[in-house]
Amino acid sequence: MNYSQPSSAVNHRFFTRLLIVLVVFLTIVLPLSKGQASERHKNCLWTLTAGTNTIYLLGSLHILKSDAYPLAKPIEAAYAASQMIVFETDIEKMNSPAVQSQMLMQGFYQNNQRLADHISPEAYAKINARVTDLGLTMAQFDRMKPWLGALMLTMSEFQRLGFKPEYGIDNHFFHRAKQDAKSIVYLEPVQYQIDLLTQMVPENQEAFLEQSLRDLSLIETRAPQLVEAWETGNTKVLQSIILASFHDYPAVYDQFILDRNLNWLNTIETWVDGNRNVMIIVGAGHLIGDDGIIALLKSKGYTVQQK
């Protein structure tokens, strides 16, 4: 695939799916700590019950293989019991031609600018080496901004291993909720998610690229471990895979994880003690850890249980 011309080279639907998959599910593959035995089998699903209704919180993996289905019975039961389904953003709108064109235009440098003009020589050497290892050429990436180059390389590796966005948990339930005529609500507008990437300051873009490159070679061995941890609700392993990747990049972590969790918390609280059961489906990295939605809810006195 030739990425050098933004107007025609990148398949629009591929690009938009890539954005949906990776805008908040960034680098997910770091070496696991030794001795992390599997927890008792649970699910990446929590419930908050506050008297009149139940809030279900489901951690999503945005790309999976077809053999991830059927889903566990508690997840299916939570969906069946919910009248309102909440997603990070409008997946259908993200696929619109207008959004696709906007992202493509913002992902490439204009006026003969090159990637090498905007990142350090060390970072450029790293991406050059990785591109060469994949049998590609820098000519295919040299006009991409760092965030787009990082996403393209990461998504290509996942697709090579058979992971596809159409099997992602949020995509699966989005189409089911539409078919079942359930109320659908979004935590963020599409433009906000676009801006997360396109408005990153240069130093965060370079950090994002280096973070992605560092983890790229580990995807093949670590992705199956991630899926297993998700299927068994092993939050310790999920945390070591997903959140530890941000350890050296605190500014990227704050922008993509912490700030959004705090914003979402305020919205989630408005649904507590309401007249409808609500199922909230967000990237698994947003639910786990000390800054995760689950911990934040517990710190405010809510009783939240893993199912």
Q: What is the 3-state secondary structure (H, E, C) of the chain?
A: CCCCCCCCCCCHHHHHHHHHHHCCCCCCCCCCCCCCCCCCCCCCEEEEECCCCEEEEEEECCCECHHHCCCCHHHHHHHHHCCEEEECCCHHHHCCHHHHHHHHHHHECCCCCCHHHCCCHHHHHHHHHHHHHCCCCHHHCCCECHHHHHHHHHHHHHHHCCCEHHHCHHHHHHHHHHHCCCEEEECCCHHHHHHHHHCCCHHHHHHHHHHHHHHHCCHHHHHHHHHHHHHCCCHHHHHHHHHHHHCCCHHHHHHHHHHHHHHHHHHHHHHCCCCCCEEEEEEHHHCCCCCCHHHHHHHCCCCEEEC
Reported as a single tens digit per residue, the pLDDT across 72-109 is: 999 999 999 999 999 999 998 987 888 878 887 888 99
What pLDDT, on the 0 to 100 scale, is given for residue 25?
42
Residues in the chain: 307
Distance CA 198, CA 286 (A): 21
Low-confidence residues of the chain, pLDDT below 70?
A: 1-40, 244-245
Rounded to the nearest 10°, the torsion over CA 171, 175, 176, 178 is 140
Q: What contacts 295, CB < 8 A, 6 or more positions away?
A: 289
b/e for 117-154, b at 16 or more Cβ within 10 A? eebeeebbebbbebbeeeebebebbbbbbbbbbbbbbb
Pairing state between β 45-49 and 54-60: antiparallel
Nearest residue to 22 via CA among 235, 262, 209: 209
Distance CA 108, CA 7 (A): 10
Nearest residue to 264 via CA among 113, 137, 125, 86: 86
What pLDDT, on the 0 to 100 scale, is given for residue 240?
84
What pLDDT, on the 0 to 100 scale, is given for residue 244?
67
Contact by Cβ (8 Å): 99, 15: no
Nearest residue to 154 via CA among 61, 239, 29, 284: 29
Nearest residue to 76 via CA among 107, 49, 45, 54: 45
Q: What contacts 190, CB < 8 A, 6 or more positions away?
A: 89, 90, 93, 94, 99
Q: Would you kindly state where each structural domain of the chain is located, as residue ranges?
A: 12-306
Distance CA 92, CA 184 (A): 12
